[in-house]
Amino acid sequence: MDRKPGHLTKNPQDAVNALNWVKVVGVGSACVGKTCLVKHFCEMRVHLWDLSGSTEYIDVRNELYIQADAIFMAFDVTNQATFDALDSWLKEIQRYTTGTPDLIVVANKTDLKQKRVISTNESKKWANQNRIKYFETSAATGDGVDRLFQDILVTIIERSGRCLLDFFNYRELDMCLQFGPRIDTSDRNNVSFCLGNDLIRIDSQEKEKYIKEITADIGYVYNVPICIQCQNTGSGWKYNDGSEMVYFNWPSGEPNGNTPFLFMVRQFNYQWFVSQSSCSYICEHR
**Whole-number pLDDT of residue 103:** 92
In this predicted structure, the answer to whether residue 258 has a pLDDT above a threshold of 50 is yes
Share of the chain above pLDDT 70, in %: 71
Q: Which residues contact 82 (CB under 8 A, 6 or more apart)?
A: 28, 29, 32, 75, 76
Q: How far is CA 245 from CA 149, 174, 209, 286, in A?
A: 40, 19, 17, 16
**Whole-number pLDDT of residue 77:** 94
Strands (DSSP E) along the chain, which ranges?
A: 22-28, 46-50, 70-76, 102-108, 133-136, 168-170, 175-183, 198-199, 226-228, 231-232, 237-238, 262-265, 271-273, 279-284
In this predicted structure, the answer to whether residue 176 has a pLDDT above a threshold of 60 is yes
Same-domain status, 33 and 97: yes
Cβ(102)–Cβ(71) below 8 Å = yes
pLDDT digits (tens, 9 = 90+) for 55-111: 555 666 677 777 788 898 989 999 999 999 999 989 988 888 877 788 999 999 999
pLDDT digits (tens, 9 = 90+) for 130-162: 999 999 998 888 888 888 888 887 787 766 666
pLDDT digits (tens, 9 = 90+) for 7-23: 444 454 454 444 456 67
> The domain containing residue 82 runs over which residues?
21-160
Q: Full-prediction pTM beyond 0.75?
A: no
Same-domain status, 145 and 183: no
**Whole-number pLDDT of residue 133:** 93
Same-domain status, 205 and 258: yes
Residue 266 lies in a domain: yes
| Tally of structural domains, the chain | 2
In terms of Cβ atoms closer than 10 Å to its own Cβ (0-12, 13-18, 19+), residue 230 is buried
Which ranges in the chain belong to alpha helices (H)? 12-17, 34-39, 58-64, 80-84, 86-96, 120-129, 145-160, 205-215, 219-222
